Chains A and B, each alone.
Chain A
Amino acid sequence: MTVITESVLQAAPVTKTRGYWGTVGRRILRDKVSLICACVLIAIFLSALFAPWLGLADPYQGSMIRRLRPIGTPNYPLGSDELGRDMLARLIYGGRLSLIIGILPVVFAFMIGTVLGIVAGYVGGKLNTAIMRTVDVFFAFPSVLLAIAISGALGAGIVNSIVSLTIVFVPQITRVAESVTTGVRNMDFVDAARASGAGALTIMRVHILGNVLGPIFVYSTGLISVSMILAAGLSFLGLGTKPPEPEWGLMLNTLRTAIYVNPWVAALPGVMIFAVSICFNLLSDGLRSAMDIRE
């Protein structure tokens, strides 16, 4: 026995194999588009996080005599808004709320949807029918309509907007999680685990989760782009953030009346939403090809 083991060890190649995540990371770093998107996102994140230390003007302090200054005015590099507040400061501070209300729904939905989908896919039977038919009901609504219906009924507010978007994304992630789980549950290694006495919970946590998390994660990162647009959209309609908080969707709303006075300043918050949204989209695409996931 020992002899065999030793000979096998000696025969084994000495080259170090890279792990799965190592390969994925290297592929992402080689992909120029993904790398640029990641850098842009990190820059927006960090500037939002460290906004108070960047030496910016007060994003709440307005000035009645300096309203709607054009881009490039001294002291107002990106102009000022309808209440004379510095646009640059408001755009950077605005990242805080905008990113939170855009990303949190996907994070919550990712957690809830993954659990629901894995349970439905692994347990199967009546539980699967119950979960998946409930999910189908939510697919009977266009997602924008569902988000607006729920937050319209709940009333305006940041928490309500996060709740409504989470409800919109949970069914979508559950469906993906369920379909990848059903693909994995009949594989040999799951049977082997069951044969060696592992319980359902252990199998789901140890054997299934690791194999389905990749596709679910990639799908969810793609949703962040939609979520950013919808969350800002809810604020734009007046269903999310309330004034005077700086938030990109709300800023677009309050600046709408200014398009006849100072059009390009009014359009600026949308550039931020677009930038974050397209970066997440491209990053998600890059991640998908790096992880070699086919839809």
Chain B
Amino acid sequence: MGRKSYSIERKQAKWGLIFTIPCLVFFAVFSFYPIINALLTSFTNRRAIARTSEFVGFENYVYIFTKDNGGFPLSNSIRATLIFTIGTFIPMIIASLIIATFLMQLRKDKYRGFFQLMYYTPAVLSSVVAAAIWMIIFDPRGLMNQISNFVMRTSGVDYNWLVDSTMLQISTMMIYFWKYIGYFVILFITGLASIPSTIYEAATVDGSSRWHTFWKITLPLLKPTTAMVSIMAMLQCLKTFSTQYMLYQGGSSRFPIDVITMNIYFTGIRNGRLGRASAMSIVLFLIMLIFTYIQLRLTRSSEDVEY
């Protein structure tokens, strides 16, 4: 009777699989099931309170792409989401990279730790608290109008942070930027810390300036981190909800900031049209999938970096 022999790789793979089982269970319950359920629901006319629903084929998809949806068409939501995503994630990536680079220049760890903590603190605040803080700041009598009047050398001008359509969109971007930049700074710091110091030492010996070192060494070696952070930031921005929702709750108009998730929420939860809301969520899922694929393709070469 021959003994079955396993290679080291196969043994490692077996243990790897065992260790990933809890994660797979988690994803099966909390990700796969909702996605499949949403897909199936999107082909029905299911309402929140009704006990029964009927199969309606692609009716919900046709509706969301051709109808007004009670004054809040999906096309407007796609516009609002894209404007928010572009207006937030690109500045956030650039700013978090710059801040992380500056923080890495600090010689004492305690100073770096202090600033990391300061930048990260908003990320751990609940959205409700964050919104409450910003509602006070954006109140017509609040800090933002006072600062704006000081900077613009005006007096008593209401810059309509929560009223004007453009200002309202800028306000949501500012809140989001403030809340999440610390998180991405930490990720960039982790990436920067993983670049071996010997490379910098060699560059210094060769007479490279700091500016030159940043562009020719830091940035290329940081490409995997940049790719990961940009994908994460973009996906997070595409899924934004609480910032817009809180401003709406505070009395602002919904239309200019009616991002896709907010439209899904109002269609499904407020108006109880679960079939229609599920169709919107599948559209959002596809948008995120396409953007992620494009971004992965654009940054594919980043995986080739070796020290």
Is chain B a partner of chain A in the same complex?
A: no
